[in-house]
Chains A and B, each alone.
Chain A
Amino acid sequence: MAQCTLKPDLEFTREIARAGGSSLKKCYQCATCSVACPMAPANAPYPRKEMIWASWGLRDKFRSDVDIWLCRNCGNCTDLCPRGARPADVMAAARNLVYRDLAEPSIVSKWMGSASGLKRLFLIPAVLWLVVWALRAAYNGQWFPRAADGRIVFGQIFYGDYTIDPIFMLTFFGACFVLYRGVRKLWEMFRPQGELLVIGRTKSWIFHLADVLWEEVLTHRKFDECEDGPTTGKAGPNRKTGHALLFWSFVLLAFVTAVVAAGHWVGKIVPVIHIETPMPMTFPIKILANIGALLLICGLALLTWRRLRLDPEQHGSGFYDWYLLGILWLVAVTGIFSQCFRLADAIVPAFLAYYLHLVFVWMLFAYLPWSKLGHFVYRTAALVFVRMYGRS
């Protein structure tokens, strides 16, 4: 038998421990977790093998492992783990580490790694939007201007054409570019060595993506499969409803944003579809936007409540988890406050809330490739890859 030498990378083990997998050394490889997981395939199931890779610090094994992306973090494995090694947390920590490696520049991931980097992450957009505000205030002659008819119009300060839209478009496409490179890198890491011979018909990745979106993302079907594992005797609060609410609120709000942007820019050429902001409260798009905000709040409340109820001895909640929940709450709350203050004609709080809203929305999108929210791209990419290479 060929000999193989393992080179344990203890630094990697420590990194996983810091990223939320501090319990990994308790594992004694009984393989309960692989059975506890209803998603783990029969061939080379997870997370037992990941647990020993983590102990040994086998970084390369993790980088090429699609399985950490198949895990939906339901926590069955942790519930049944006889040693309290918390495989679910180790898998989540491994994902966090991969986010860090995937997205460039990596300095952002360093800031994202812990609460101490939060100040920098906040200051960048805070200064950016303050500069915009100051410039426009200088141009307008006042910090809290009113429109000619006396209404509060945020566009007076944060003027769409020259400030918000270009900055957000840059941010958005920048994030897309970083994500694109991340996905390319991810697939490159997954790709098996040597040539893969496929017998029979193959589908293009586009069709696989459509399958993933339909069968897993839109329907949230896998969340139900998570419940199919062995009876753990421990009732875990279900995440499906909260996650689905959040997902659909994102879809709705993205749609609304796209419509408004199209109404604004295309409306310059085709005046019929021009949309003026602020939209009246009875305008269909406005109604949709407010429904989206409501769904967002409901989803967030459910997920936050669930996370607070988790037994910290069993399921850890790390900085990555709280960062995402926190930023989403801030986006939702400042957004709703901006609208309420604007309607209540409280001009100073309205502008302040809107300013903060812009800061947090920018944080959400600009740091997306490094944050836990990146999972919606990376996981989808991994799931597509899994289908292309026939592991499910």
Chain B
Amino acid sequence: MSKAILVVGGGFAGLTAAIEAAELGHDVYIVEKSPWLGGRVAQLNKYFPKLCPPSCGLEIQFQRIRKNPRVKFFTMADVVGLAGSKGSYTVRVRLRSRHTAPHAVDFNLLASSLVGEADNEFDFGLSKRGALYKSMPFAFPDRYVLDTPTLSKTDATQAERAKFLDLSEQPREIELDVASIVVATGWKPYDVTRLTNLGAGKVKNCVSNMQMERLASPAGPTGGRIVRPSDGRTPHSVAFVQCAGSRDQNHLNYCSYICCMASLKQCLYIAEQNPDAEITVYYIDLRAPGRYVNVLEKVQALPNVCFVKGKVADVVQAGDDKVTLTVEDAVRGEKLTLHYDLVVLATGMQPSLAGENPPLPLPLDEDGFIAGGEEAGIFAAGCARMPLDVTRTAQSGTAAALKAVQTVKGR
């Protein structure tokens, strides 16, 4: 009987759980649906607590995986079926076709010669990508992906001739025998198109906080310059709209925990690049848990950042591609209508499983977070369980690994 552990999701929680379990001597499989490991953290410019770039923490995790033969991972893979019970599960995993050779090939030249384009989901639509692409410079595995529907006709003939591409690769299914499962399926940014009064994603220069991370990231669409997406100009006035969808029974009926700190962090990005930019943060309550209060104090001390208590409830397009906000300053009792060069919606985190039908026997709460499953030897980690920052995500990954190991070993 297999004593392996399956980890669903290769983000920070999943990686941590997998590595911790493997380093205790257990076989681990990671099943990741995107082409690379790293999850949401890989999309950030910097992350808490030390405000280092994602490569910093992820590189260490990737290194530990490379060195540990007990960790095996599948990318572009989905769990499609589960049979058995605690201690002896058979998991069916579907592997989508990547169409590129299984080793690190530098396709840079070929990729740039292809003309077909698609929206770059890694940049949340802020840029285009080609058919043959790698979303980040430190991607792990260091392999390109060929997205065949994006190929133009000429691209296709070129791709067929390419030595390390295989256009005919078919998706396939494998079966894994495992004793325990860690579910670290993570989160997705709340869908801005549902925020009808905040512009529903149709207002130019009104971006989400995750788009802001991409704008600020050196590997992002602007090479790390924070500019207005519409015209590439440096914004002189920026507004942050907190609780865009969070703590709202019409959207996410809980606090997403990270958005206050994310906006404070992004204030620092902007102030660093353009100290003259006027920044306003509109909030209901500012939540800087634990030692993060230091960051809040640091941002509050910045000369051009001001905080206004009041939730923005109306966002519309203004002339010159500016954005008009309407908000009541609840302390002064004044309704303000103001124009900004750039507006950032601090959208919250929704569990990836919300609205999905995962083939795992997992009880989800009404918001889509995993609530239970431990008696079946299935343990949730990271933001699949509750909104968390990276530090606490790592802790929950370790905790889930420990429980999975206990299940495998028997108590």
Q: How far is the CA of A40 from the CA of B312 in the complex (A)?
A: 15
Contact A45 B196 (CB under 8 A): no
Q: How far is the CA of A42 from the CA of B327 in the complex (A)?
A: 10
Max chain B C-beta neighbours (<10 A), residue from A36, A41, A230, A232: A230
Answer yes or no: B80 CB below 8 A from chain A CBs. no
A359 shortest CB reach to chain B, Å: 45
Q: How far is the CA of A276 from the CA of B243 in the complex (A)?
A: 69
Q: How far is the CA of A124 from the CA of B328 in the complex (A)?
A: 49
Q: Return the contact of A43 from the options B309, B313, B334 (Cβ within 8 A).
A: B334
Which of A25-33, A175-183, A242-250, A361-369 sits within the interface? Answer: A25-33
Contact B197 A30 (CB under 8 A): no
Answer yes or no: B173 CB below 8 A from chain A CBs. no
Closest to B284 in A: A30
Contact B330 A29 (CB under 8 A): yes
A176 shortest CB reach to chain B, Å: 37
Which of B131-139, B245-253, B357-365 sits within the interface? Answer: B245-253
Residues of B contacting A42 in the complex (Cβ-Cβ under 8 angstroms): 334-337
Q: Return the contact of B284 from the options A28, A44, A45, A233 (Cβ within 8 A).
A: A28
Contact A80 B313 (CB under 8 A): yes
Contact B333 A84 (CB under 8 A): no
Q: Given A31-B311, A35-B326, does the pair A232, B335 have CB atoms closer than 8 Å?
A: no
Answer yes or no: A219 CB below 8 A from chain B CBs. no
Q: Return the contact of B247 from the options A44, A82, A230, A231 (Cβ within 8 A).
A: A82
Answer yes or no: A48 CB below 8 A from chain B CBs. yes
Residues of A contacting B311 in the complex (Cβ-Cβ under 8 angstroms): 30-32, 35, 82
Q: Given A43-B334, A44-B334, A231-B196, does the pair A35, B328 have CB atoms closer than 8 Å?
A: yes
Contact A83 B249 (CB under 8 A): yes
Residues of B contacting A229 in the complex (Cβ-Cβ under 8 angstroms): 314
Residues of B contacting A48 in the complex (Cβ-Cβ under 8 angstroms): 328, 330
Contact A41 B196 (CB under 8 A): no
Contact A31 B197 (CB under 8 A): no
Q: How far is the CA of A34 from the CA of B248 in the complex (A)?
A: 16
Answer yes or no: B387 CB below 8 A from chain A CBs. no
Contact B326 A31 (CB under 8 A): no
Answer yes or no: B310 CB below 8 A from chain A CBs. yes
Contact A36 B196 (CB under 8 A): no
Residues of B contacting A43 in the complex (Cβ-Cβ under 8 angstroms): 333-335
Q: Given A28-B284, A83-B249, does the pair A45, B328 have CB atoms closer than 8 Å?
A: yes
Answer yes or no: A222 CB below 8 A from chain B CBs. no
Contact A31 B200 (CB under 8 A): no
Residues of B contacting A33 in the complex (Cβ-Cβ under 8 angstroms): 313
Q: Given A30-B284, A82-B250, A231-B197, does the pair A36, B330 have CB atoms closer than 8 Å?
A: no
Q: Given A45-B328, A230-B197, does the pair A36, B313 have CB atoms closer than 8 Å?
A: yes
Query: How many residues does chain A have at the interface if contact means C-beta atoms less than 8 Å apart?
Result: 26
Contact A49 B333 (CB under 8 A): yes
Residues of A contacting B313 in the complex (Cβ-Cβ under 8 angstroms): 31-36, 80, 230
Q: Return the contact of B248 from the options A31, A82, A231, A233 (Cβ within 8 A).
A: A82
Give the residues from 327 to 375 in chain B that come closer than 8 angstroms, CB to CB, to chain A. Answer: 327-330, 333-337
Give the residues from 157 to 178 in chain A that come closer than 8 angstroms, CB to CB, to chain B. Answer: none
Contact B335 A40 (CB under 8 A): yes
B193 shortest CB reach to chain A, Å: 10
Q: How far is the CA of A276 from the CA of B327 in the complex (A)?
A: 62
Residues of B contacting A80 in the complex (Cβ-Cβ under 8 angstroms): 197, 250, 313
Contact A35 B312 (CB under 8 A): yes
Residues of A contacting B249 in the complex (Cβ-Cβ under 8 angstroms): 82-84
A78 shortest CB reach to chain B, Å: 11
Residues of A contacting B335 in the complex (Cβ-Cβ under 8 angstroms): 34-35, 40-43, 45
Contact A34 B196 (CB under 8 A): no
Residues of B contacting A30 in the complex (Cβ-Cβ under 8 angstroms): 243, 247, 284, 310-311, 330
Q: How far is the CA of A260 from the CA of B327 in the complex (A)?
A: 54
B346 shortest CB reach to chain A, Å: 14
B396 shortest CB reach to chain A, Å: 27
B308 shortest CB reach to chain A, Å: 10
Q: Mark B290-332, 1 if CB is under 8 A from A, else 0.
A: 0000000000000000000111111000000000001111100
Q: Given A32-B313, A230-B314, does the pair A44, B333 have CB atoms closer than 8 Å?
A: yes
Max chain A C-beta neighbours (<10 A), residue from B249, B309, B335: B335
Q: How far is the CA of A31 from the CA of B247 in the complex (A)?
A: 13
Q: How far is the CA of A31 from the CA of B326 in the complex (A)?
A: 11
Residues of A contacting B196 in the complex (Cβ-Cβ under 8 angstroms): 230-233
A76 shortest CB reach to chain B, Å: 9
Residues of B contacting A232 in the complex (Cβ-Cβ under 8 angstroms): 196-197
A30 shortest CB reach to chain B, Å: 4
Contact B334 A35 (CB under 8 A): no
Residues of A contacting B248 in the complex (Cβ-Cβ under 8 angstroms): 82-83
Contact B197 A233 (CB under 8 A): yes
Give the residues from 185 to 202 in chain B that come closer than 8 angstroms, CB to CB, to chain A. Answer: 194, 196-197, 200
Residues of A contacting B309 in the complex (Cβ-Cβ under 8 angstroms): 31
Contact B284 A230 (CB under 8 A): no
B259 shortest CB reach to chain A, Å: 14
Closest to B309 in A: A31
Across the A-B interface, the 4 shortest Cβ-Cβ residue pairs: A82-B248, A35-B313, A233-B196, A230-B197
- Name A residues whose Cβ lies closer than 8 Å to a Cβ of B: 28-36, 40-45, 48-49, 80, 82-84, 229-233
Given contact pairs A35-B313, A48-B328, A82-B250, a sample of 5 additional A-B residue pairs in the complex whose CB atoms are under 8 Å apart: A36-B314, A41-B335, A42-B337, A229-B314, A230-B313
16 residue pairs bridging A and B, Cβ less than 8 Å apart: A28-B247, A30-B311, A30-B330, A31-B313, A35-B326, A40-B335, A42-B334, A44-B333, A45-B328, A45-B333, A48-B330, A82-B251, A230-B326, A231-B197, A231-B200, A233-B196
